[in-house]
Structure 1
């Protein structure tokens, strides 16, 4: 969640695709054309039955696939050591391989990411999540839009949001008010809205993100009080160690309520809105509050530490534990250690949570 949460990890959105060499203008035009087609198909993205056989001839948008893409796809499948991918996973991988090139910074080795996820035993299982096939396309388009609008490496924001919610747009923590794919709490949403109205550059980025997706970014929090009420009831039932069937009934009721908000533009449980809010806040942390941190990888991972535990804790790590100049001379592995986390003014459980978040995203997004 925003500042604090427990979560898992999965992402595959990396560079080196078949359409390398596109200019930024061509990338943006392609993205706009793709998203315009998505809007015509309804809320979210088109539900396209992407081919996923090895050496396939067409990509998810019907374009001819280059020999390089075929080789990358076959290499990806071979890297999984014989494990059979679910259809959603195949479609997702293929979509990434055929995405137009964006600026991914140093996060370019998609095959390495997929190997990491395989090693972690991560799979997309639709039946265990609110994530549907259409949601995958909506997510991919949201990542493309966020990369353009907020200048965030796609690998970073995808690894972070999977760590937060397993890409489940219906995720809702029963211990807090954290909601949606970015696990944003109600106060976090309110703060982010204030931020993009206060800072002209962040507002321009937010308007571009919304325009690219045909989405709505809210002017005020549109909460889900029924969900908060049900979470309190579930928490009380678990505290009393109530029967599992009773707890399950409440959780199913909560799922139904959340699902009713999923396609409501501007709502905290709307996938595009929630992802945009998470991206806006992460960009604010990196470009406004942690400008003194140098280095692409170090800078974004420090922003993730702030996203997880709060800006004050990230500043404490930079300025008090190391000192800004010394911090910028350290490697990520040297910074994010139990020893250095131990100097922070947060309990050990939160220290471990921060390290788990940052290092998981680091492994996930590493070249």
Structure 2
């Protein structure tokens, strides 16, 4: 019959009334069947959608709901014990209630709440310019600052990535703090760690940084041109730098910097192989260039000339017999004596040639003349 106040009441064939006198026992355990305290459940009657009760498991992992009709119910976990995951809603059907004990016993098992920690290795080494990057590294997981499990290997084959999965969230009721650390940092690298959420809620990126080795090339320009005697030396020259035979830079050596040039911050390696650096000079007109190491020498042979002097006599073939046996002449350069005087005589056919005379001095053309320095009596 129907009880207008309390709802439906069933009566068994034996004549026994089955009303609000059924009990539901919820037993909560972990994956090892250990009872779990502190799990809360909401009991809902499926037929009416009515929330009948909310109960919490005790020290024995049990929660009891009394005064139920023999009907279908949904048990929903509303609070999981610390460190455990929620279960999906569970259904209890009317036929699960024992009519003798008037009790239905439901055992539900919570899974340990787990998390995932991802670790990625990145390299800041100019794409392994120096060729010292290892082909793998090892990373150790730590739980509360204690090693957890064995180190894992990161390499190109796994994209320098590893996911630590199924890690328990709690231990003894306290949340576990997970960290990672690189084992044996490669020589020449400095590690740094940053949090990452690119793959999951918790992860780390370990960056190994290596500053590639650099070098400096410096040289000096030397001039072999009799102190710029001809005045054709430029104020600067261009020096070209080659890396493994390929021109990469140009700089200048200048008069005002003492003819010193340099190329700075040059990588020592490329793709792990040492770079061979060489230089060349843009040709300077009038000079030939030689290279010794990274030093340059430009050579110019100054222009030279000669001056021929001939002594002529207008004395009717020495008719009066007063012609001297010799005379002295002096070469003059820009009206200044140049060298020693020379002797002209019958033996020299009264002539002489001054040779290897510079054409220029300090870039200006020299004017050469010859002056007779001896006094010849009776002649003008």
**Short-chain TM bin:** under 0.3
User: Which is richer in helix?
Assistant: 1
Give the TM-score taking structure 2 as reference length: 0.16
Q: Which has the larger radius of gyration?
A: 2
Q: Whose relative contact order is higher, 1 or 2, with alpha carbons under 8 Å and at least 6 apart?
A: 1
